[in-house]
Amino acid sequence: MEAKARYEERPWLQFYLPGVPPDVNIPERSVVEAFNEATDKWRDKTALVFYGRKMSYRELRDETDRFASALSALGVKKGDRVALLLLNSPQFIIAYFGALKVGATLTAISPVYVSPEIKHQIEDSGARVIVCQDILYDHVEKAGVELDSVILTSIAEYLPRMKKLLGQSVLRAVYQKMSAPPTEIFAREGFYQFQELIKKYPPTPPEIEFNVREDLVTLPYTGGTTGLPKGAMISHYNIIAAQHIAQITWGDVVEPGKEVVLAYLPFYHIYGQSIVMLGGLSQGYTLVIFTTPDLDDILNAIESYRASIIYSVPALYEVLRDYARTDRINWKRIKVLVSGADALLEDTARGWEKRTGVKIHEGWGMTETTSIGIVSPYGRPKIGSFGVPQPSTIAGIVNPDGDEFLPIGETGELVVRGPQVTSGYWKKPEETEKMLATIGGETWLRTGDLAKMDEEGYFYFYDRKRDLIKYKGLAVFAREVEEVLTGHPQIKEAGVIGVPDPDVGENVKAVVVLETEARGKLLEDDIISYCQERLAHYKVPKIIEFRGEVPKTDVGKVSRRELREEEEV
């Protein structure tokens, strides 16, 4: 049988929960309509909990409508771009939906970005209005960008009265060099206070007609591993598709209007934005919001609010696995426990199950797929696999350097198609053409991920194409070496990259973080010997560097890009 046909047969369908269809009927409606429907249906239910402060769906709708009226009065209209530089907070959600209600497109900026990165995203997206955390505004000022309106907000505005001072002190600890601008700044033209706008304007947003297939909800920017970051164009249709696919994947396990979700994944990131924030609110869930993922706060919230859904990242599961208070939680009471945004190490998955008695459901998604694509079938995850394609999603493996599909079991580039896939990159037609390939008459997203599929339709991640190391023409997967290294009881973390060498192409280099008690005792030769027993000779690191920590992305991944850039300096 032709290789492509084997993937399109979808062998994974046999593992869907009873009643879950192969394909989902995606409604032709806007995200604004979905939000209004949810806030009408669950108006008296708690939508948000922010360090003890509760906000109902009715209150959320009222403040969102008021903010939309304010933006309209400031001249924001359909098609404009509005930038958000905000921590996880009620303000992020109010500003997000408020901007959508005037027909604008959001572009959310990472709170850890510095001025040049902020400048690129604002100028590339064409945003002329920004809603900004007051303590982060200094970076915007130094970026020197032209803006029509700057709306500043304090984290304390939505904290309970007793926690306002505590909240400010927590942020000062995280953002030590940051401080809010003086109140005199509001005397400048184009500067506004978030709360003052909410109070000033009525809850009467303009009526906007949407073309849901073409009008954009958000422009999330990719990590910029090759060149500057690019904005993925995510439409109303993409978001609605992602919401419906995510909801139906879990069948009757989760119930609209009845779940409580921990919302500590950053909202600016597509994972936290699409799955947690947009997906949760569309289903009437209660979001327990954290600005920073403090372990004790998270564990306390699981108990206090009886959390039923947790979306997280491998790094947090790894820390919680060894955390003393983890045993105090009845993890079996949580309905859905998902790991995404990075590959889940087998050691972490096995250790977690041994410690808690529950399995982690691993998932895969990208900015370009609105964070939806592949996830472990409910109750049947396989260690080492990130799962099977979700409803309405087809995935396959192709030659990384060509278009032909590879037989099942062979490693190649993962390609996907489905209603959640972006139409392309903002103002980057050449980059779009590289990403969206026509193969066999169908348009597929070339993910850049190297993976394989087994006979049952489970997919296994190996590495990013850009992270593949070539030693004397032989392929070395950085992740495979990292898994071996972190399997050592005295190695806490590891990052692996290829270092150019004219004689062999690339040497394998490992940046290693040791457990405290092993520092100065576990030597380079010890690590190399350990790897030689577990890896083919060409995969064994030739260079070992000890560090106190490895650089990470905002969602806890080891940043191999930063490690490579350090080698280039």
pLDDT at 166: 56
pLDDT at 224: 45
CA–CA gap between residue 181 and residue 469 (Å, rounded): 47
The CATH H-level superfamily of 469-568 is ANL, C-terminal domain (3.30.300.30)
pLDDT at 176: 55
By the 8 A CB rule, do 334 and 302 touch? yes
User: Would you call 262 helix, strand, or coil by DSSP?
Assistant: strand
CA–CA gap between residue 31 and residue 533 (Å, rounded): 54
Domain boundaries, the chain: 3-26+228-463, 55-209, 469-568
DSSP secondary structure letter of residue 366: -
Partners of residue 188 on adjacent β-strands: none
CATH number listed for the domain at residues 3-26+228-463: 3.40.50.12780
CA–CA gap between residue 156 and residue 172 (Å, rounded): 12
Closest by CA position to 353, among listed 374, 379, 377? 379
Q: Which residues are CB-contacts of 366 (< 8 A; sequence separation ≥ 6)?
A: 270, 373, 445, 447
| pLDDT of 558 higher than 60 | yes
Query: Which residue has 């001025």 as its token pair?
Result: 115
| pLDDT of 152 higher than 80 | yes
Q: Which of 104-113, 162-171, 179-188, 307-316 has the lowest mean pLDDT?
A: 162-171
CATH number among 1.10.540.10, 3.80.10.10, 3.40.50.980, 3.40.50.970, domain 55-209: 3.40.50.980
* 206-237 pLDDT, tens digit each: 999 999 999 999 999 986 434 678 999 999 99
Tell me if 3-26+228-463 shares its fold with 469-568: no
Q: Which of 161-175, 197-211, 460-474, 544-558 has the lowest mean pLDDT?
A: 161-175
By the 8 A CB rule, do 288 and 49 touch? yes
Work out the average pLDDT over 523-549: 91
Q: Say if strands 336-339 and 309-312 run parallel, antiparallel, or are unpaired.
A: parallel
* 245-289 pLDDT, tens digit each: 999 999 899 999 999 999 999 999 999 999 999 999 999 999 999
Work out the average pLDDT over 406-419: 95
